[in-house]
Structure 1
Amino acid sequence: MEAIFNRRSVRKYSGQKVEESKIEKILRAAMQAPSAGNQQAWEFVVVRDKEMLKKLSEVSPYSKMAANADVVIAVMANEEYMRYPSYWQQDLGAATENILLQAVTEGLGSVWIAVAPREDRISTMREIFSLPETVIPFCMVALGYPDQEVKLSDKWDGNKVHYEEYKPV
């Protein structure tokens, strides 16, 4: 529960280099996510090159922080691995959440940067990475040591919990 309650979107990074061992643990956590029929249709591109980070920061108006991250992990689906194609977004969402939670465990800050389902962002990512049509960009996760105080908040709202049936508030 500690990682869950300490996870926050961190968009400013100190510049300290993220250790390779931490990146591997984060990727291992991603690949432990559940997937439909255990299809594991995910693939990841780890980016540290500053020129590539700059390109990724221009994928959308909300990806600017990628330029100053130490690492960006691009999370993608490969249709060649899909046995249950209508579930790939759920699979990659679970893998991405595991990335975010493991980042907290490793003492890192992270932020989920949406790509899918926006076709403009998907095509930009395809161009940046020269992806085949069978590989679909889902999102990016910017990672680094936080350069800001992370403020925690309790998001619990009992009004959004229903038992046995839905009852509007």
Structure 2
Amino acid sequence: MKLLWTSQHIKVTVHIDGKVSKMDVLEAIKTRRSIRKYQDREVPEELIDKILDAAMCGPSAVDERPWHFIVVRNREMLEKIPEVHPYGAMVKDAPVAIIVCCDSSLEKIPGFWVQDCSIASQNILLAAHSLGLGAVWTGVYPLEDRVEGIRRLFSIPEHVIPFSVIPLGYPAENPGTRDLFDPDRIHLEKW
């Protein structure tokens, strides 16, 4: 499998096995949906690398980049995640999951890691979608039972906080797109 990923202006071009796919960034944002059903098909390491590269391209407060990522492919571990995450049932059927974590020892400004890891998580979702994969964000932080459950399951040190679990794979569902634009939520100049 040959993969080339180029960006020209706001177009993303992906070449996989001779197939060409182009996705505009705005199109990726507007058409991305939470995918909870996956094909029984492995996700190539090259795609995971591209997704993690995109995750790390996000901005962070004072460039602290507090994130760490755990890539989980082990079937036994994927099947254990729903035991500690009540909304993680789909993880057991995904070929891979990425756990986004914050290393609190890297914090320069306390508390901003939440925004930093949120941006990294969103970049994972958008990159996966642009590469023809489906994914869903399952929140871990700030719910202590989920944080501790994921921490125990993956031997995460105390100074590292699991933030989200993102299962991903080739989609086995197509929920369609939705128009979520709501002009009633826009306020000009003041509330």
TM-score range, shorter chain: over 0.9
Percent identity over paired residues: 46
Instruction: Please state if 1:78 is matched with 2:106.
Output: no
Unaligned runs of 5+ in 2: 1-25
Map of 1:24 onto structure 2: 49
Counterpart residue number, 1:100: 125
The one-letter code of the counterpart of 2:53 is R
User: Among 130, 141, 149, which residue is 1:124 paired with?
Assistant: 149
Instruction: Give the structure with the higher percent helix.
Output: 1
The residue correspondences of 1:8-19 to structure 2 (distance < 5 A) are: 8-19=33-44
- Matched letter for residue 56 of structure 1: I
How far did residue 66 of structure 1 move? 0.3
Question: In the alignment, is residue 143 of structure 1 matched against residue 162 of structure 2?
Answer: no
Aligned residue number for residue 155 of structure 1: 180
Displacement of 1:105 in angstroms is 0.7
Aligned length: 166
Aligned Cα root-mean-square deviation (Å) = 0.8
The alignment partner of 1:72 has SS state of strand
Gaps of 5+ in 1: none
Partner Cα separation in structure 1 for residue 27 and residue 84 of structure 2:
32
TM-score (norm 2): 0.85
Query: Does the alignment pair 1:59 with 2:84?
Result: yes
Q: Tell me how far apart the structure 1 counterparts of residues 130 and 74 of structure 2 sit (CA, whole Å).
A: 24
1:8 partner amino acid: R
2: CA distance between counterparts of 1:22 and 1:89?
A: 25
**Partner SS for 1:152:** coil
Moved over 6 A (4+): none
